[in-house]
Structure 1
Amino acid sequence: MRKVIAAINMTIDGFCDHTAITPDKEIHQHYENLLLNAGVILYGRITYQLMQYWQELLEHPSGEKSMDDFAVAIDKIPKFVFSHSLETTGWDSATLSQTSLQETVVAIKNQPGKDILVGSRSIIIQLLQLGLIDELQLCIHPVIAGNGLPLFKDINQRMLLKHTKTKNFEGGATILYFEPK
């Protein structure tokens, strides 16, 4: 059975804001490897549209190897997008899900294959509430944003987690790995 791995970047004060952090070469390489070792990634509409930035780097590489390699990896991985407003994805490797999040995840999880990644805050929250996350990877950047969208804003019940490992990056970011208890 496939694992559902939720991986997200956040500030030290708990906000998910891609404009508040600056991923370095090491962070890009980490997420590239995560993508290369997964079978599919799940996105909500907002994060999906932000990730379409990487399509531009495929056509016009930046010259920064880690970013260009990440763009190739994100392009290749199949993507399921959960949206009520999108009519098309505009990306060959992306599909609009025609079933509920729970139905889609349970179906994919029971198929053979590589793990399922979750890269959207909204999808992470929903899957945590459904008890479908097997591993939570919080990449905490050494930044205090002061405001923004809190990762766990919509969690209204206590959830116990078990810390399984830590990965430190030279640039100061740290990934904390957790499993639900």
Structure 2
Amino acid sequence: MGKLIYVMNTSLDGYIEDERGAFDWLPVDDEVFAFTTDLLRSVGTFLYGRRLYEAMAVWETDATLAAQSGLMADFASAWQAAGKVVYSTTLAAVSTTDTRLERRFDPAAVRELKATASGDLAIGGAHLAAEAFKAGLVDECQLFVLPVVIGGGKPGLPTGIRADLELLDERRFRNGVVHLRYDTLGQRPTADVASALR
């Protein structure tokens, strides 16, 4: 059985995009990049919303990225090795191998995917992750907290839920980024989601 892990970069004030929808404030750093690549090696399947999938697909569709350095090649290899499930009502087709397109997020199907998985699953995209949190599916939350305050934008964590977390690990990087790994012990779906699942 695999764990469902939410992995995301956030500003210190909890946002993943600024008010313009940009995330160009993310620092480029080899130490953090190598750590992220090692984290992705344990992932057997990525669950993505459309926007994040389109941003990440270049790691397979643009060979010039992997050619830039050994670190970039390692990341591309780790990303390409995993399967992908993309949730979108507007995407016409996927552009990467071992990728399935789903029109809606089905909590029961994700539970089945977790139960039969030989590796962990990672979920990305704030809206999609919120659906998984609300359904009580997220087992771990791993945040890379960046040393920047952006003042507003898209929150990295969903609102309207209660989740009791247990800190499992933390790591501080030289550039001021902190990686926090939490178990979502005690996470409960919201009342509306719980009733819908009955």
Normalising by structure 1, we get a TM-score of: 0.90
Determine which of 163, 172, 182 is the counterpart of 1:178: 182
Task: Give the count of matched residue pairs.
Answer: 180
Q: Is the 8 A contact 1:140 1:175 kept in 2?
A: yes
The alpha carbon displacement at 1:52 in A equals 2.0
Q: Which runs of 5 or more residues in structure 2 are unaligned?
A: 18-22, 187-198
Aligned-partner SS, 2:155: coil
Q: Is the 8 A contact 2:65 2:73 kept in 1?
A: no
Q: How does 1:1-181 map to 2 (within 5 A)?
A: 1-17=1-17, 18-97=23-102, 100-152=105-157, 154-180=158-184, 181=186
Q: Is the 8 A contact 1:25 1:67 kept in 2?
A: no
Larger Rg: 2
Aligned-partner SS, 1:16: strand
Percentage identity across aligned positions?
27
Q: Is the 8 A contact 2:7 2:122 kept in 1?
A: yes
The alpha carbon displacement at 1:99 in A equals 6.1
The alpha carbon displacement at 1:87 in A equals 2.0
Q: Which moved more, 1:165-174 or 1:96-105?
A: 96-105
Between the aligned partners of 2:127 and 2:56, the Cα distance in structure 1 is 15
The alpha carbon displacement at 1:174 in A equals 0.7
1:104/1:22 Cα in 2 relative to 1: closer, same or farther (>3 Å)? Answer: farther
Q: Is the 8 A contact 2:44 2:117 kept in 1?
A: no
1:126/1:60 Cα in 2 relative to 1: closer, same or farther (>3 Å)? Answer: closer
Between the aligned partners of 1:64 and 1:57, the Cα distance in structure 2 is 14
Q: Is the 8 A contact 1:58 1:68 kept in 2?
A: no
Aligned-partner SS, 2:96: coil
RMSD: 1.9
The alpha carbon displacement at 1:85 in A equals 0.8
Q: Which runs of 5 or more residues in structure 1 are unaligned?
A: none
